[in-house]
């Protein structure tokens, strides 16, 4: 997936949830093709652009929406790019903070495998140009994809090994526990 495709996709995703009414006159020329991306993630004073569709009386709700919209879009794109096994899906958790860092986790839900995590201030989710935003989306998408592909490969291999009785004999106890934890999503000591 190309960086510009991700940027266009994020704009379309935002357009499904937010209206653009009344903001057309303030969008900088370089952001004219991505006005909602600019309102959310373009250069601004503070963690959320006041008066934008992302502004909320409760700033924490605005911060949560800012992060959730960004990472939910990446998780949705990843799910279409890499089919997860069975009925698994990616879940986005955001622990917002106005005064401290906001923590975001993207996990493979049924197995509780962390696909991506980040801790940053809301104003760090701010970009000078659409290309800067596109490049960041691209980098984070590919990091998430590599982690997910690796975990999916481990799960497939573990299931193959456990199905093969001869291979099971060669797994030591620690390996067997790790394989079972990976498959079931449990943590055992």
C-alpha to C-alpha distance for 51 and 18, rounded to whole angstroms: 13
pLDDT at 28: 93
Domain boundaries, the chain: 3-144
> Which two tokens mark 14?
């935002």
Q: How far is CA 36 from CA 13, 59, 138, 152, 185, in A?
A: 10, 18, 18, 34, 37
Out of 3.40.50.720, 3.90.105.10, 1.10.3100.20, 3.40.50.1000, select the CATH number for domain 3-144: 1.10.3100.20
Residue 154, both tokens: 């481990």
Q: What are phi and psi of 91, to 5 degrees?
A: -120, 140
pLDDT of the residue at 35? 93
Torsion of CA 138, 91, 17, 127, to 10 degrees: -30
How many angstroms separate the Cα of 20 from the Cα of each of 14, 29, 33, 159, 171?
Answer: 10, 16, 12, 49, 58
pLDDT in tens, the chain (189 residues): 799 999 999 999 999 988 777 777 889 999 999 999 999 999 988 888 887 777 777 888 888 999 999 999 999 999 888 777 666 788 999 999 877 899 999 988 766 678 888 999 888 899 999 999 999 999 999 999 888 887 777 767 776 766 665 655 555 555 656 666 665 555 544
Q: Would you state the pLDDT for residue 189?
A: 47
Quote the pLDDT of residue 108. Answer: 80
């Amino acid at each position: 997936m190309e960086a510009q495709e991700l940027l266009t996709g994020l704009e379309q995703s935002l357009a499904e949830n937010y209206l653009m009414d009344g903001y057309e006159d303030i969008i900088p020329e370089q952001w004219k093709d991505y006005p909602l991306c600019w309102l959310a993630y373009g250069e601004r004073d503070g963690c959320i652009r006041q008066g934008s569709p992302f502004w909320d009386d409760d700033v924490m709700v605005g911060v949560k929406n800012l992060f959730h919209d960004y990472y939910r879009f990446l998780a949705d794109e990843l799910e279409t790019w890499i089919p997860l096994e069975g009925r698994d899906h990616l879940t986005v958790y955001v622990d917002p903070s106005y005064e401290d860092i906001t923590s975001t986790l993207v996990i493979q839900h049924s197995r509780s495998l962390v696909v991506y995590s980040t801790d940053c201030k809301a104003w760090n989710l701010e970009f000078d140009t659409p290309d800067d935003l596109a490049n960041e989306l691209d980098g984070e998408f590919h990091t998430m994809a590599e982690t997910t592909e690796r975990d999916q490969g481990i799960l497939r291999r573990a299931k193959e090994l456990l199905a093969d009785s001869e291979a099971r004999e060669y797994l030591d106890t620690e390996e067997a526990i790790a394989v079972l934890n990976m498959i079931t999503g449990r943590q055992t000591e």
